[in-house]
Structure 1
Amino acid sequence: MSAITHNVEFLVESHWARMNVLAWSYTDIAESAYDDYMVANENYVPLPEDDDPTEHFESHKNILESSFKTIVFSAMACEAAIFDLAAIQLGDDYAEKYLDKLDIVGKWVVVPKLICGKPLNISGPAINSLRELIHARNALVHHKSLPGLPDSELIRKADKQMSKIINRTDVAFKAVVLLSLELNRVLEVKTGALPFFEADMKSLTEERHSKRIWDVIHRCRKIDADNAIP
C-alpha cells in the first residue's frame, strides 16, 4: 500500500483582539501569588517547642494561601488562554462545539496542531508541567478533609495530602511560562494567548516582575530552548 502526501497551507492569525479576555489577568494574579509564596517560604517560621506558636501558624497560613492562589489562577490562565487561542484561530463556533469538550491537556495538545499542523511536545516540559498543575488544581477543587482527633497515621496522611499540593506550586506558574514560550515558538508568532516571556519581549514586562520571578522566567527560557527541536 502506498502513502499519499498532502501539502496544506496553514494561516496563523497574529492578533489576539477579543473582549473579556482574562488569561492575562489570571496570570498576573498567579504571578503575584507565586512571588508571595516564595517570600513566605524564605521567611518560614518553624513551630517552636515552648514559645507562642502564633507566628508559626501565620507563616504556615501565608504559604498555604499563596500556594493555593498560584495553582488555581495558573490553571485558570491556561484554561482561558487555550480557548481564546482556539476561538481566534479556528472560530468561536468550532471551539465551543468541538474543542470545549476536551480536557485542558487535550486542548493544549490538539489546538496548536489544528492551527499550524505541529503539536506541542506531548512529553515535553510544558505539557508535563500542565499535567502536574491540573492534578494539583483538581486536588484543591475536589479536596476531601480527614477525620478530626487524628492518630499518628492520620497525621501522616494529612501531611502527605497537603504536601502533594504545595509541592506543585513551583511547577504551577512554570507551566504558564513554558506553555507560552513553546506555543509561540511552534506557531512562529507571538499569539498573545498568554503573556509574553521571550527575551526579545523583555521591554514590555521588565518592570512587572520581581527578581524572584525573573529568575524563574530565565530558567523556563533555558528549559524551552533545550526542548526545541533544531
Structure 2
Amino acid sequence: MDLSKQVAVVSGSNRGLGKELALELLARGAKVYAGARNPESVDLPGAIALQLDITDPESVAAAAQIASDATLLINNAGSSTGASLLTGKLEDIQVEFNTHAFGTLSMIRAFAPVIEKNGGGSILNILSVLSWLTFGAEGAYSAAKSAQWGITNALRLELAPKKIKVAGLHVGFMDTDMTAGVDAPKSSPKDIARIAIDGIEAGLYEILADDISRQVQQGLAGGVAALYPDLG
C-alpha cells in the first residue's frame, strides 16, 4: 500500500497511540481525518479534526459522510474501566463492549461501503494481547477485546471480496494515560505506531507489536495449562 495516496480516518486521535498513528500517517504523506469526541482537543497540524464518538451511531454516520474519500480506517478509540466481570458495575462492562466491540463494528459497517466505493483499502483494528489472555481482575476489558478480535476475524473474510483488507494489531501495555496506574514494562506509543503503519504498508493481516504479544500467541497452542499455569 502506498500510504502517500491514502486517506485515513483514525479514531481516538487526540492523544496516546491514536495521536502517534495520525502523526506517522501524516509523515508518510497520507491525508488524515483525526477523530475525537471533542475535535477541539485534536492538536495535529495538517490533519482534519473530525467529531467522532464511536458509541454514537449518529456521530459515526456523520463522520462517514464527511470522510467520504476514506481508504484506510484505524479503529483505535478505546476505554478501560477496570471492571471485573464478576463484581464490576454492569454499566462499566457495557462501556467496554459498547466501545471495543459494538463501536468497532459500527465504524466498520459505516466505513466499509465508503472504502469499497473508493476502490478498496484497509482497516486496522487496534487490539491487545489481552484479547488472548486475561488477568481476571479486569476481565471486562479482556472480554471486550476478545470480541473485537472475533469481529476482526469475521469481517476479514466478509470484506476480502470487496478489496478491503482487515488487519489486527496486538500489543501489550503502552505508556499512555490509560495505563498510568499500571506497574509493568510499557512500549512507546510512537514506536508502536511506526510498527502498526509498517504492517499496514506491508499488507499484513496480523501485526504483533511486541515480545509479549508474540509469546502469548505461541502460548495459545498450549491451551489453558500454558496460558494460566497457576490453575494447576
Which entry has the higher C-alpha Rg, 1 or 2?
1
Which of the two has greater strand per residue? 2
Query: Could you tell me the TM-score, scaled by structure 2's length?
Result: 0.28
Whose relative contact order is higher, 1 or 2, with alpha carbons under 8 Å and at least 6 apart?
A: 1
Which of the two has greater helix per residue? 1
